[in-house]
Amino acid sequence: MVNESLNQEKSDDNPAPESAFPTDTSYSTHPSDSFHPSVSGHPSVSIHPSVSIDPSVSVHPSSSAPPSTFAQPSALTHPSSSGPQSSVIKVSKRRWAVVLVFSCYSLCNAFQWIQYGSINNIFMTFYGVSAFAIDWLSMCYMLVYIPLLLPVAWMLEKFGLRTIAITGSALNCLGAWVKLGSLEPHLFPVTVVGQVICSVAQVFILGMPSRIASVWFGADEVSTACSVAVFGNQLGIAIGFLVPPVLVPNIKDQEKLAYHISIMFYIVGGVATVLFILVIIVFKEKPKYPPSRAQSLSYAMASTDASYLSSIVRLFKNLNFVLLVITYGLNAGAFYALSTLLNRMVILHFPGEEVNAGRIGLTIVIAGMFGAMISGIWLDKSKTYKQTTLVVYIMTLVGMVVYTFTLNLNRLWVVFITAGTLGFFMTGYLPLGFEFAVELTYPESEGMSSGLLNVSAQVFGIIFTISQGQIIDNYGTKPGNIFLCVFLALGSALTAFIKADLRRQRANKDVPETKVQEEEESNISKAPTVVSEARL
């Protein structure tokens, strides 16, 4: 499948000669070829097709002057916006291979996040540590993300998608193999080291979905693509709830327990290794042609000396984005806390039901994946970012309230239904937040806006997990869940104040688009278009 995808990409990136600008830069210009002196390169002078050209200029369809022939100030031209590629809007067939491979290694990393929490009581017994220590194996993912966001965001802009993808998948693979050295009860510190390495890997993963969607997908596909990218992470959490209780049964014999844990660790290490190899083969920095008008304009406006501190300042001056950062953090933080503590809550009400606790977690995430996909498709069709986000947020609050007051009914099937309803909206909200942030902050870096959303999620996730865990231990599950309901109500109220300032949508509508031409045109007629785009 990968080879087929790569072959398709080669043909996709080489359209017919008559439908694109020539890419050969080795132009030869006769000494007598010159533009009339009246044609000035000053920025205020616009070159129109009606401008007359001195008779000494020899114009031939096969040797037209490249964009660089026009005398323009270097300050107006950026390497990424000059040249033939910026004048063509075309989606690449490789885009689906890229997003699927990313989705898979994101899945593997998310599995490793929740694999301890989903059988919290079993790892407590094996390593002889407290429940709080096992909780930290999940919370270290949240803690590590906060200080590493800015360095990784800088690396994303400096070195690009391919480098970040390879680094993230390599760290994920390394962490999985390190854990194999922790198969003795006294080796808990080794499993902590492996988990910390995996948590560093997720810093290179969480901010990627919206960036991959913008760089590789057309304007009518970005929300769906972002949902697919987030889908992998959620599927990993779902498998993390389902598989560990099956592979690692709750038995007393330490040697047999270590054997079952080793099976799980070997499987994860093997999968992570295969995915690392696929990332090296499949990932490219970006497609040959920009997939949308907004992305083409983003290339043109790119600045090599962009200051990340100034970018952050601009983002935090954007009131709508600041409100979204807070509301996203409240929702995602509640999801992190609920996922981490789910096993403990279910076992309190249904002792000995570790497998069903995992299945309930699976139900939450699977329902959320459907919610995410439906939300992404709906956004691509309707572009109603504010309305969709608000409705999903309110329904998340309703689902959390219903789940809170039905958990103690001692009806396991009721918990499955209420948890699934909650997951449909709570997990389905995550890609909505990413895409809404890109709309509110365009043309700022997607990696930076997504990163700040994730920092907020990690901060609230740590606060909620510790606080709710203490409330559950001292007062029970209902007060702990009411604690989350209060903050989700606050998030719903703040979401109502966010204005739908859809900047990326305006760029897609307002910027003139030059698609791949179906009919052969003379190169001289295309030159003004290139000048116009370079000046943008």
pLDDT recorded at residue 302: 53
pLDDT recorded at residue 454: 83
Give the model confidence (pLDDT) of 234-272 as tens digits. Answer: 888 888 888 898 899 888 888 899 999 999 999 999 999
In this prediction, residue 221 has a pLDDT band, given cuts at 50, 70 and 90, of confident
| CA-based R_g, the chain, Å | 26
In this prediction, residue 188 has a pLDDT band, given cuts at 50, 70 and 90, of very high
Question: Is the entire prediction scored with pTM above 0.85?
Answer: no
Provide, rounded to the nearest whole percent, the portion of the chain with pLDDT above 90.
24
pLDDT recorded at residue 427: 81
Distance (Å) of CA 104 to CA 62, 98, 229, 262, 353? 46, 10, 9, 22, 29
* Distance between start and end Cα atoms, the chain: 39
Question: Residue range 97-115: average pLDDT?
Answer: 90
336 by Cβ neighbours in 10 Å (0-12 / 13-18 / 19+) ranks as buried
Identify the CA nearest to 337 among candidates 451, 124, 485, 200.
485
Is 341 in contact with 465 (CB distance < 8 Å)? yes
Map out the domains of the chain with their CATH numbers: 92-292 (1.20.1250.20), 308-511 (1.20.1250.20)
Positive or negative torsion for Cα 446, 451, 454, 456 = negative
Mean predicted lDDT score pLDDT of the chain = 76
pLDDT recorded at residue 520: 37
Task: Between 147 and 47, name the one with better pLDDT.
Answer: 147
Give the model confidence (pLDDT) of 268-326 as tens digits. Answer: 999 999 999 999 998 887 777 776 676 666 655 554 444 567 777 888 888 989 999 99
pLDDT recorded at residue 110: 92
pLDDT recorded at residue 514: 45
Give the model confidence (pLDDT) of 300-309 as tens digits. Answer: 555 444 456 7
Is 535 in contact with 54 (CB distance < 8 Å)? no
pLDDT for 31 beyond 60:
no
Whole-number Å distance between alpha carbons of 196 and 198 = 5
Whole-number Å distance between alpha carbons of 363 and 415 = 10
H helix intervals, 128-250: 131-159, 161-178, 188-206, 208-216, 222-247
Positive or negative torsion for Cα 155, 158, 161, 165 = negative
Which own/partner contact pairs does 173-176 have at CB distance under 8 Å and 24+ positions apart? Answer: 173/269, 173/272, 173/273, 173/275, 173/276, 175/112, 175/199, 175/200, 175/201, 176/108, 176/112, 176/265, 176/268, 176/269, 176/272
pLDDT recorded at residue 64: 36
pLDDT recorded at residue 189: 93
Give the model confidence (pLDDT) of 42-95 as tens digits. Answer: 443 333 434 344 444 443 443 333 333 333 333 333 444 334 444 677 777 778
Whole-number Å distance between alpha carbons of 536 and 532 = 6
What letter represents residue 207's amino acid?
A: G
pLDDT for 340 beyond 80:
yes
Place of tokens 């990424």: 80
pLDDT for 356 beyond 60:
yes
Pick from 38-47, 362-371, 446-455 the range whose average pLDDT is largest: 362-371
